[in-house]
Structure 1
Amino acid sequence: MFQRLPLVILSLILTMIPTVATSADLDTMIGQMLMAGFRGYTVDTNSPIVQDIKDRHLGGVVLFDYDVELGKAERNIKSPDQVKKLNRQLQSFATTPLFVAVDQEGGKVQRLKREYGFHATPSAQNICASGDFKVRTSGYMVGTTLSANGFNLDFAPVADVNVNPDSPAIGKLERSFSADPQKVTRCAELFAGELKRSGVLSCLKHFPGHGSAGTDSHMGVTDVTKTWTETELIPYRELIAKRIPTMIMTAHIFNAHLDPKYPATLSHKIITGILRTDLGYKGVVITDDMNMKAITEQFGQEEAIRLAIEAGADILLFGNNLRYDPDIVKTAHAAIKQMVDNGTISHKRIEQSYERILVLKKTLN
C-alpha cells in the first residue's frame, strides 16, 4: 500500500494512470510487464533498480531477506523501519505505482521474519488444520504486517493440493493448506480475503498445481506427467468462479498430458487454453521466477521471455536472486521491445497485458 503518501497525492497519481493501453508508449507498457528483485537495504538515484523504475518504467519489485547467490541473509530486509523506508524510496521514483511484492506465506516461507522484528505466522498446513478462525487470524496478521511496511502484494496463498507430502518444494515445507482440494479452496479464500481487507493483493500459486511434484523447479525440470490429476485444478476453478483471484502465478512444471512440449509458464495451451478459456480467468497472470533452473536449463532467456508472453503471461518475474544480474530489467526490456519491433510479438499482445495490469493497479488504495 501507499499509506505513507498523502491520500490526495495518491489519488492524483492513480487517476493519472492511462485508462487505455494505446495512450501509453511501448516502453511504458513493456516496463509494466516486468517485476524484478535487487540488492540493497536502501536505494538512491544511482541504484540500478531505480534506473529501471525511472528509465524503463519497471512495474514491480520483489524483496527478499536472503541472497541465494551470496549464500547469506543480506538482501533487502533487516528491520521494520528499514523496510518501510526502502519501500517509500522505491515508490517515490515511480510514475505509475509499483507492485511491491514479497513471499509471506507463513511457516518456512516468510521473508519478514521474527528475528528481524516482524510478526511471524504458522504454516498454511498448520493454520488450515486448525480451522477457519486460525486462517482468518493468520491472514489478517500477514496482511496488516505487509500493509504497515509498504507492501501491496503478497505471493500467497498457495493453492497447491498436498498430493505428495514429500514434495520438496511444497509438502515437505507445509506450504499447502491440505490434501483435500475443498479445504484448500476454503482456506485460500479466507486467507486472500484477509489480505484484501488489509489492503494487500493476493496471488494464487502455482497454476496448474505443484503439489504432486517429486522435484523442486528451483533446481531443474519438474515433470508431473505421471502424478498430476485434474483435482489439482479444483481450487482454481472454484475460486475463479467466485472472482477471488486478483493475480495467479504459473508453475514451471511440465505435464505432457497438458502440453507435450512446454512447461506451464511457457505454455499457451495451459495459460490461455486452460486458465483463461476453460476456467474463465480474466485477471493478471504472473510467471514464477524466470531465473529458476526449470526454465534456464532448457531455454535461452530471450526464448523463455517470448514463449511466456505468447503463452499469455502478463508479468514476467525475475527474482534476480538465484543468480544476480544488475542489468536483468534492461536486458529483458530491450529483448521484448525488439520482438515487438520485428513483429515476433504483436503490439496488441503487449496492450492486452498492460490493460490488465492497470485495471489491477487501480484497485490499490
Structure 2
Amino acid sequence: MQTAHALPPAQPSIFHQLSAEEILSQMSLEEKAGQLFISFFWGKTLSDDTKQFLHRSKLGNVIYFAWSNGLENPEQIAALSKEVQDTIVKATKIPPIISTDQEGGIVQRLQNGFTRFPGNMALGATNDPMLAYETGKVLAKELTSVGINFNLAPVVDVQIHNLHPWYMGIRTYGTNPSHVIHFAKEQIRGMTEKGLLYVLKHAPGLGGVAVNPHLALPTCDKSLEQLESCEFAPFRHFLDAPAMMTAHVIFSALDPKTPASLSYEVTTNLIRKAWGYEGVIMTDSLSMNAVLQDTSTFERAVESVKQAAIKAIQAGADCIILGRLEWAAFSPTEKQDEEVIEKAIQGIVENVQNGVLSEERINDSVLRLIKMKQKLSQNTSISSFTPNDKLSAEIAQKSLTLLSSPSLLSAIGTGFKAKKICVIAPKDIENTMREMLKERAITADTLFFEQTSLQDPSVREKIKISAAQSELTLFFSYNATNFSLQKTLMKELARETSPQRLLFVGLRNPYDLLGEELHLTHNTFLTYSPTKYSLESVFKALEEETIPSGKIPFSITE
C-alpha cells in the first residue's frame, strides 16, 4: 500500500466561510494578478529560493510536470503538495489550484505508483462507458490522495477521422460527437463523485487540425455549420463544467486572424455569450509557439509572453496556463523560468495601472476563480491507495481491436508460444516490452528501432532478415504515418512475408495501418496505447487464440 502525507488544513476554513465578493474586496491588485496564472516551478521539494519566488510573485496556482518536479512516487508528491499549499496560502491567503495533466495513455504525468491507463481512444474502443466512469473514480482517488485538486482533463475534442497526420489522435474518445459525449460524461461523473475538479480540453475543438500548436499556429477552415455539428458539440453539452481550456487554433469562420485562446470573438462572443458558459475559461499554455510572436532571445520571449497574456485577458480568459519556453530558440535557465512567470504577472498589473486593462475586468475573472476554488477538494486526511492494475488491464483487453479479417487471424494457427517469434518495436517501449515478455515467459528475438536509426540501410536489412528467419513476426508501429522510413519498412515486410507469419500492431495512430491498407492483406491489431497492459493484451489474445473484442471508434469507410 502506498502511504501519503496529510495536507495542511487550508487556512481556508476562513476562505470557505467568506463570500467570494468579500475575499475579492480584501485583495491587492498584485494578488489578483497572481490568481490569474497556473504555472510551474522547479523542485521535488520547495527550496527557500522557490518559496521566496512564490511569495514574491503571488503566483496563485501550480502545475506539476515530471521534468520540473520529479513526480517520483505518491509520497514525494504528497509531501510537495503539502509544502505548496502551506507556502501559497501563507503568501496569498487563498488555497492554490494544484494541477497536472492526467488524461491517461500518452499524457499522464504521474506514473510510478499510479494506475497507468491506456487512454481515451482505448476507452472509446471498449464501447463500455462504465469503464470511463471507473477510470474517473480512480483518477480522482489517486490525485486527491497526493494533494492534487484539479485534473487538466478530459480531452473532449472530436478527432476528425480522415485528417492526416493526426495531432490529437488517441487522446480523444473517437470521431463521433455523441460517442465522445457519452464517454466524457461517465469519466467526469467518476471524477466529480470523488471530489476532483476538471477542465474540458480544448474549446472550441482541437480535433480538426493536423498542426501541433506547440510548434506552429494551426488553422481550421470548416464552416460554422460544420463546427456546430461536430467540434462544438461536446463543449456545448457540458456547460456545467467548472472550467474550459481554449485552443491555440484559428477558426476562420469565427476569427480569421487570431487563435481562439486570444480571440474575443471566440472566448467571449462564442463561449461566454452564445453558449452561455459561466465557468472559468483558461487558456492552453501560453509558452507554445502558436501564440508567441518572437522567441529568438530571452528578452523577446518574455515580451511575447506578456503580450499574449494581455491579449488572453482582453479576449475574456479568466486563467492563463504558462509552461516552459521549451520550443524557444534558446534554453532558459531555471532562474529565467521564474523571471518569465513573474514578468507575466507584473505585466497584468502594469497594464491595469496604465489603463490597457480595467481592474473591473480582472475582478470578474478572479471572482470566478475564487468561486471555483471554494469547490476544490479540502481533503486534509489523506488515505493510501494501490494502483488499480486490474482496471487498466481490463480496459486494455477490451479495447484491443482486430482490423483485419478473423480468417486471416486464424491463419496464424495454434501453439503461439512454441513458435520462433520475432518482436520489432520502437526503442521508446523497449523496457516495457522486455518486462512484459519476461513476466509472460515468452522467448522472442527482439529488435528495437529509433526513427533515425531506420535511415541506415543495414538496420532495415537486419530487421527484414530476422523476420524472414522467424515463424511469426510482430511489428509494433508507432506514428509510422509521420515517419516515412518506418512506413516503408512496414510495406516491405508485408510484401515479403505471408499473412500467417506477420502481425502488425498499431500502438498510436490507426492510420499507420489503415493508410496503407495493411489490414486488407495482413493481420492487424490496434491497442491505441503503448502501456504495459496494452502490449500484454496482444500476447494474451494470441496465446488464448481469441478474437479481440474492441471496436475502432470510427468507421473505416467514413
TM-score (norm 1): 0.90
In the alignment, which residue of structure 1 is the partner of 2:314? 310
Q: Distance in 1 between matches of 2:274 and 2:286?
A: 25
- Which of 276, 279, 282 does residue 275 from structure 2 map onto? 279
Q: Which has the higher contact order (CA 8 A, sep 6+)?
A: 1
Deviation at 1:8, TM superposition (A): 8.3
Q: Does 1:34 align with 2:2?
A: no
In the alignment, which residue of structure 2 is the partner of 1:352? 364
> Residues 28-77 of structure 1, C-alpha deviation per residue, up to 9 Å, x if partnerless?
11110011112211113321xx334323321210001136xxxxxxx431
Deviation at 1:88, TM superposition (A): 0.7
TM-score (norm 2): 0.59
Describe the SS at the equivalent of 1:285.
Answer: strand
Q: Distance in 2 between matches of 1:200 and 1:284?
A: 15
Q: Is the 8 A contact 1:38 1:320 kept in 2?
A: no
Describe the SS at the equivalent of 1:101.
Answer: strand
- Write the mapping of 1:38-187 to structure 2, written as runs, cut at 5 A: 38-47=41-50, 50-66=51-67, 75-94=69-88, 95-113=93-111, 116-130=112-126, 131-164=128-161, 166-171=164-169, 174-187=170-183
Q: Is the 8 A contact 1:104 1:112 kept in 2?
A: yes
Q: Distance in 2 between matches of 1:168 and 1:81?
A: 37
Describe the SS at the equivalent of 1:196.
Answer: helix
Q: Is the 8 A contact 1:30 1:337 kept in 2?
A: yes
Describe the SS at the equivalent of 1:55.
Answer: helix
* Residues 31 and 7 (structure 1), Cα distance of their counterparts in 2 relative to 1, 3 Å cut: closer
Q: Distance in 1 between matches of 2:121 and 2:167?
A: 14
Q: Is the 8 A contact 1:39 1:76 kept in 2?
A: no
* Residues 284 and 330 (structure 1), Cα distance of their counterparts in 2 relative to 1, 3 Å cut: same
Deviates more, 1:336-345 or 1:20-29: 20-29
Q: Is the 8 A contact 2:254 2:265 kept in 1?
A: yes
Unaligned runs of 5+ in 1: 68-74
**Larger Cα-atom Rg:** 2
Q: Distance in 2 between matches of 1:118 and 1:234?
A: 32
In the alignment, which residue of structure 2 is the partner of 1:338? 350
* Residues 167 and 153 (structure 1), Cα distance of their counterparts in 2 relative to 1, 3 Å cut: farther
Name the aligned partner's letter for residue 37 of structure 2.
Answer: L
In the alignment, which residue of structure 2 is the partner of 1:71? none
Q: Distance in 2 between matches of 1:259 and 1:283?
A: 22
Q: Distance in 2 between matches of 1:303 and 1:293?
A: 13
Deviation at 1:321, TM superposition (A): 5.6
Q: Does 1:320 align with 2:316?
A: no
* Residues 80 and 297 (structure 1), Cα distance of their counterparts in 2 relative to 1, 3 Å cut: same
- Write the mapping of 1:150-299 to structure 2, written as runs, cut at 5 A: 150-164=147-161, 166-171=164-169, 174-226=170-222, 229-230=227-228, 231-240=230-239, 243=240, 245-297=241-293
Describe the SS at the equivalent of 2:125.
Answer: helix
> Residues 153-212 of structure 1, C-alpha deviation per residue, up to 9 Å, x if partnerless?
1010101001146454311xx111121101111211211121111211110010110001
Q: Is the 8 A contact 2:212 2:218 kept in 1?
A: yes
Deviates more, 1:15-24 or 1:272-281: 15-24
Name the aligned partner's letter for residue 25 of structure 2.
Answer: T
Q: Distance in 2 between matches of 1:13 and 1:272?
A: 29
Aligned pair count reads 348
CA RMSD across the alignment: 2.1
Identity of aligned residues (%): 30
Q: Is the 8 A contact 1:52 1:329 kept in 2?
A: no
In the alignment, which residue of structure 2 is the partner of 1:15? 17
In the alignment, which residue of structure 1 is the partner of 2:408? none
Q: Distance in 2 between matches of 1:31 and 1:141?
A: 31
> Residues 237-289 of structure 1, C-alpha deviation per residue, up to 9 Å, x if partnerless?
1111xx2x101100001122110221000000000011010111011011100
> Residues 74-112 of structure 1, C-alpha deviation per residue, up to 9 Å, x if partnerless?
x43111111111111110112211100000000111001
Deviation at 1:6, TM superposition (A): 5.8
Deviation at 1:17, TM superposition (A): 7.2
Name the aligned partner's letter for residue 143 of structure 2.
Answer: L
